[in-house]
A = this chain, B = another copy of it.
Amino acid sequence: MPAPALIAIDWGTTRLRAWLMAGDGSVLAEHRSDDGLIEAQKKRFSTVYATTLEKLQAPAGLPAIICGMAGSRRGWIEAPYVPVPAPLSAVLKEAARVPQPGADIRIVPGLAQTTPDAPDVMRGEETQLAGAGLPVEGTHLVCMPGTHCKWVTVENGRVKTFGTWPTGELYALIAGQSILRHSLGEPPAAVAASSPAFAEACRTALAEGGDFSARLFSIRAGTLLNGLSPADAAARLSGLLIGAEIASALLHLPPLPARRVVLIASGPLAGLYAAAFTLAGFEVRSVDAEAAVRSGLYEAARQNGMVA
């Protein structure tokens, strides 16, 4: 087995994923926990970090590279945002050092867009982007679904512009807490990417320029008047929100040279977004989000001279 050389941590708001890596980036051990920002604020970041090393059975003194909310104002230390446009490699190099005696721990900064009409921020997704294997040349549209879905335009290795659509959060709130919860079931029924109800709602929303509010209540009325099933109700809500997001993003982002997207996702969202993009006439290249963040963390360590 190759020697351990690096700790890599994706430290988000609610979750933490950590890997012990060899010098070539291969994974030797993995640890996942719910000690994200929120828990770490209670337990202290250095305590959660020590537990993580223990769980990984990491030898003492290894350098560590971190991305995500641990670098926010409410995090371990603040790794100040890098303003876009910015080359991804330069972003990684700005990793901020955690003042921990005897340890080389650095946190990758997030990105900020300071244009007055579309201010935006991201933390963690810049590392996924850096690890997604985008060709250095050309213009690429990247979509990263999640609680706050990020859309990014990358031009010749530089992040040009980006936007956030909080579709995951809207879905959770509407499905779990609005009047529609009576239609979707409690907990909400799961949605299959192959569902005809998903496709139909998605097509409708793709044609309506990002507006979904007009169609929400028809899901409730569908239950009351037509016996719409919980599975179909959930599929319609999901199709509506994802279709509207794609339509909205295409209106707000710079015009594209081609209908081609890099989709960085994992779990059920990967299938739902791939299906929605296909309905929108897009050619989709899918990248696993977890593999991307791991590669991005390794690349950040390399750029900062933490591994050879």
Q: Using a CB–CB distance below 8 Å, which chain A residues touch chain B?
A: 73, 81, 112-114, 118-121, 148, 163-167, 169-170, 173-174, 177-179, 208-214, 216-218, 220-222, 224-226, 244-245, 247-249, 251-252
Are A248 and B214 CB-contacts (below 8 A) given A112-B225, A169-B179?
yes
Cβ distance A280 to chain B, nearest Cβ, rounded Å: 15
Assembled-state Cα–Cα distance A245/B217 (Å): 13
The residue in chain B whose Cβ has the minimal distance to the Cβ of A150 is B217
Cβ distance A54 to chain B, nearest Cβ, rounded Å: 32
Would you call B121 and A211 a contact (CB within 8 A)? no
Assembled-state Cα–Cα distance A261/B165 (Å): 32
Cβ distance A217 to chain B, nearest Cβ, rounded Å: 4
* Residues on the B chain within 8 Å of A112, using CB: 221, 225
Assembled-state Cα–Cα distance A281/B225 (Å): 36
Are A214 and B210 CB-contacts (below 8 A) given A148-B179, A173-B173?
yes
* Residues on the B chain within 8 Å of A169, using CB: 178-179
| Contact with A166, one of B81, B179, B247 (Cβ below 8 angstroms) | B179
| Contact with A213, one of B73, B170, B220, B226 (Cβ below 8 angstroms) | B170
Would you call B121 and A166 a contact (CB within 8 A)? no
Assembled-state Cα–Cα distance A217/B209 (Å): 18
Would you call B218 and A118 a contact (CB within 8 A)? yes
* Residues on the B chain within 8 Å of A114, using CB: 225
| Contact with A218, one of B119, B214, B244, B247 (Cβ below 8 angstroms) | B119
Extra contacts besides A121-B224, A173-B178 (10): CB < 8 Å: A112-B225, A113-B221, A164-B218, A166-B178, A166-B213, A166-B217, A211-B244, A211-B247, A212-B213, A214-B248
